[in-house]
Structure 1
């Protein structure tokens, strides 16, 4: 089994990693909190501030193209997608949620690059606010763990 000799603590060591973050501005209060929690956890796990690139895009549908540009640039061990889509009264919620998730997954698979997807999809603002810090931290942990796992496999 790949990485069986490594414990979870080893996989959560970010000292040698370069991480890219793409943050949607739509629902920016929530996405700012996601980004702040994500960055704090990355730093806590040893990722150097100079090794974190952070870009802003208008909304969740624009996140995949920025991820793709970062993947094409190269040099990243993992990427993080941050956004917040809240259900409204129209089909737009499903379109944005599904297409942004599909785009994030496509970039990850096309470039064989771990991407932690923390684009929240919630019924209301209350749910988004309840998840913003935890999901930001989780995204950092997923990015670090998967970057180390892919490195072990490769």
Structure 2
């Protein structure tokens, strides 16, 4: 194996990147906060506002299809999935959590495009509120870092 990236600093320069965001509207207070912090962090990392495309879908299960359309358009260097699934009293939580996560992963692998998955899966609204700001910001950082890594690997 030639060379090593071990210990190499991550590139968080977003100035040349185009990023797509798909936000689920279900649990809108939480997903709106995720989007706010995510977009603010993307801008702080140098991503131009006109290079950020932010769309919304009804819920977490619809995120995957919107991501797939964006991924196949070849217009984006990375995508971000935003949503919030709060445990209820039925199996529906597990179904939505598992299927939305699987869809995000499948779209990423099928298109060889990084997707930062910030679809929160939490026990209650308090947990969601605590995680919204941190996870929105982290999703932006992951998207920029991975987009730059994919470019470096090619």
TM-score by length of 1: 0.96
Helix, strand or coil at the partner of 1:54: strand
Give, in whole Å, the separation in 2 of the partners of 1:41 and 1:3.
25
- The answer on 1:110 being equivalent to 2:96 is no
Structure 1, unaligned runs of 5 or more: none
Structure 2, unaligned runs of 5 or more: none
Give, in whole Å, the separation in 2 of the partners of 1:45 and 1:2.
25
Q: CA deviation at 1:4?
A: 5.7
1:44-59 maps to which residues of 2 (within 5 A)? 44-59=44-59
Residue in structure 2 matched with residue 65 of structure 1 by the alignment: 65
Q: CA deviation at 1:7?
A: 2.2
TM-score by length of 2: 0.96
Helix, strand or coil at the partner of 2:21: strand
- Cα–Cα, structure 1 residues 47 and 2, in superposed 2: closer, same or farther, change >3 Å? farther
Q: How many residues align?
A: 152
Helix, strand or coil at the partner of 2:113: coil
Residue in structure 2 matched with residue 123 of structure 1 by the alignment: 123
Helix, strand or coil at the partner of 2:118: strand
Moved over 2 A (4+): 1-8
